[in-house]
């Protein structure tokens, strides 16, 4: 049985689409974002609502392929498909969009998307490793702030930025605590539930209510741990999932893993723990603090991206991981290429089994994904040896 609060978490999607409509009708401004490089704090400081628009469903891909190439990452096609089909209330009610120059596919797709709604594109440096990049990124923060001030005819003060930073840090903290519950062996929360809780948070209109809900989920799960109720038993292999973002609709590998008996305890991807690891410094000048935090995101768009390896190492330890699964979307060059580095690192330095699974959002390879996943789990299970 699942924690009861999970039902409330799942209902968030419906609830929030109504809330977003109401907010719009009341004249609240809505900023649609696509990436964890997006500084939501600046939107919040403009008294706007920030929502995540990252496409995780196969549905609008066919439409998107009328304008975009087929051999493009499904996340990009899905995001664009939602934009042109008006199927996503969150896109529909967004007043402005924020994009970043992350991977080439997204960057070029944004040029098309920018024709649909006012869009601001932040220029993301290609590396996080030098002072110049940080200075550059700071200026990008200021430009985005200026863009919102203009669009919404408002003034974003340092005071408001500080409030927003504190609020977002609290949200990060509560999500972080939720993730860390699964460091417990056996894991009290199914990976699919963890993913949902994290994913649905992206649509939260009312941050305070969202924080309170997760607090209650944590309390319930802690209570279950005390009573010895877990999502998996002691013997279930513990998996760390890394790689490209996932969400409801693009979670087939996660589902296949848990259906085959694994317990996905750790999510290193950007729709998991990646964005929660580092907090925004509340004592520094807000723009500097924001620039530092967001630039530190260990995404494969950055060169180099050694921070990802470091994060994997720490999470493998903390979550007592038995094997690492690297999910990459087809045609995602950055993650596909980086997978080789991650493989070497996991196998040679961490001494753990590793598998890369490359797929898309469709169901066409469900059988193959199942074989890969099951075979991988068999390699972890010494009992199946001859």
Partner 1 sequence: MNYIGIDIGSTAAKVTVFNDNALVDNYALPTGWSSVETAKAIRTRLEKGGVDLSSSKVVATGYGRISVPYADKTVTEITCHGAGTTYLFGKNATVIDIGGQDTKIITLVDGKVADFVMNDKCAAGTGKFLELMSNTLGVGIEELARMALEGENIAITSMCTVFAESEVISLIGAGTKRESIARGIVNSITGRVYALLHKHGAKDPVFLTGGLCEIEPFVHLLSEKIGTPVKTNSMARYAGSIGAALIAMKI
Answer for which of 10, 59, 104, 374 binds partner 1 (CB under 8 A) is 374
Nearer to partner 1, 140 or 326 (CB): 326
**Binders of partner 1: how many residues, by CB under 8 A?**
22
CA distance 78 to 67: 12
Q: How far is CA 364 from the centre of its chain?
A: 24
Residue ranges in 306-335 that form contacts with partner 1 under rule CB under 8 A: 330
By beta-carbon proximity to partner 1, the closer residue of 297 and 356 is 356
Q: Which is nearer to ligand SF4, 230 or 329 (CB)?
A: 329
Taking the least distance from each CB to ligand SF4, the nearer of 36 and 96 is 36
Nearer to ligand SF4, 159 or 310 (CB): 310
CA distances from residue 41 to 55, 219, 220 in whole angstroms, order as listed: 22, 27, 29
Report yes or no: 287 and 141 within 8 Å, Cβ to Cβ. Answer: yes
Residues 49 and 21 sit within 8 Å (Cβ to Cβ): no
Query: Both tokens of residue 309?
Result: 């390896």
Distance CA 294, CA 287 (A): 11
Query: Does 76 contact ligand SF4 by CB under 6 A?
Result: yes
Binding status of residue 358 toward partner 1 by CB under 8 A: yes
Per DSSP, 4 falls in state: T
Among 329, 345, 354, 361, binds ligand SF4 (CB under 6 A): 329
Between the two ends of the chain, the Cα-to-Cα distance in Å is 35
Token pair for 177: 């605590």
Per CB under 6 A, 195 contacts ligand SF4 = no
Binding flag, residue 276, ligand SF4 (CB under 6 A): no
Summary count for the chain: helices (H), strands (E): 15, 8
Stretch that binds partner 1, among 29-37, 131-139, 205-213, 361-369 (CB under 8 A): 361-369
Asked if residue 372 binds partner 1 (CB under 8 A), the reply is yes
Give buried/exposed letters for 349-385 (b at 16+ CB in 10 A, else e). Answer: ebebbbbbbbbbbeeebeeebeebbbebbeeeeeeee
The minimum distance between CB 314 and ligand SF4, in angstroms, equals 18
Minimum distance of ligand SF4 from residue 107's CB (angstroms): 9
Which residues of this chain interact with ligand SF4, rule CB under 6 A? 35-37, 73, 75-76, 102-103, 105-106, 244-245, 270, 297, 299, 301, 329, 332, 334-335
């Amino acid at each position: 049985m699942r924690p009861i609060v999970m039902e409330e978490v799942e209902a968030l999607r419906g609830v929030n689409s109504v809330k977003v409509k109401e907010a719009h009708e009341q004249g609240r401004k809505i900023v649609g974002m696509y990436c964890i490089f997006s500084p939501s704090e600046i939107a919040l400081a403009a008294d706007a609502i920030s929502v995540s628009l990252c496409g995780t469903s196969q549905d609008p891909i066919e439409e998107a392929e009328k304008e975009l190439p087929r051999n493009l990452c499904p996340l990009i096609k899905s995001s664009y498909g939602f934009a042109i089909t008006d199927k996503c209330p969150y896109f529909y009610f967004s007043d402005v969009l924020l994009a970043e120059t992350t991977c080439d596919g997204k960057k070029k797709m944004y040029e098309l998307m920018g024709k649909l709604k006012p869009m601001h594109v932040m220029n993301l440096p290609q590396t996080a490793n030098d002072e110049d990049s940080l200075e550059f990124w700071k200026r990008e923060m200021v430009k985005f702030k200026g863009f919102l001030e203009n669009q919404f005819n408002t003034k974003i003060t340092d005071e408001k930025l500080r409030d927003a930073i504190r609020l977002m840090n609290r949200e990060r903290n509560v999500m972080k605590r939720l993730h860390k519950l699964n460091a417990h062996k056996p894991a009290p929360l199914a990976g699919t539930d963890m993913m949902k809780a994290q994913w649905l948070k992206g649509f939260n209109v009312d941050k305070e209510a969202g924080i309170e809900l997760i607090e209650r989920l944590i309390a319930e799960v802690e209570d279950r741990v005390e009573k010895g109720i877990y999502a998996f038993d002691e013997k279930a292999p513990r998996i760390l999932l890394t790689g490209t973002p996932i969400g409801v609709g693009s979670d087939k590998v996660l589902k296949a893993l848990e259906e085959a008996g694994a317990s996905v305890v750790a999510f290193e991807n950007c729709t998991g723990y990646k964005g929660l690891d580092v907090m925004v410094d509340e004592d520094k000048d807000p723009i500097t603090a924001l620039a530092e935090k967001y630039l530190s995101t260990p995404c494969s768009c950055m060169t180099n991206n050694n921070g990802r390896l470091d994060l994997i190492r720490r999470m493998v330890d903390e979550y007592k991981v038995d094997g690492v699964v690297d999910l990459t979307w087809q045609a995602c060059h950055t993650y596909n290429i980086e997978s080789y580095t991650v493989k070497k690192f996991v196998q040679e330095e961490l001494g753990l089994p590793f598998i890369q699974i490359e797929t898309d959002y469709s169901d066409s390879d469900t059988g193959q994904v199942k074989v890969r996943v099951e075979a991988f789990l068999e390699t972890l299970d010494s009992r199946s040896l001859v």
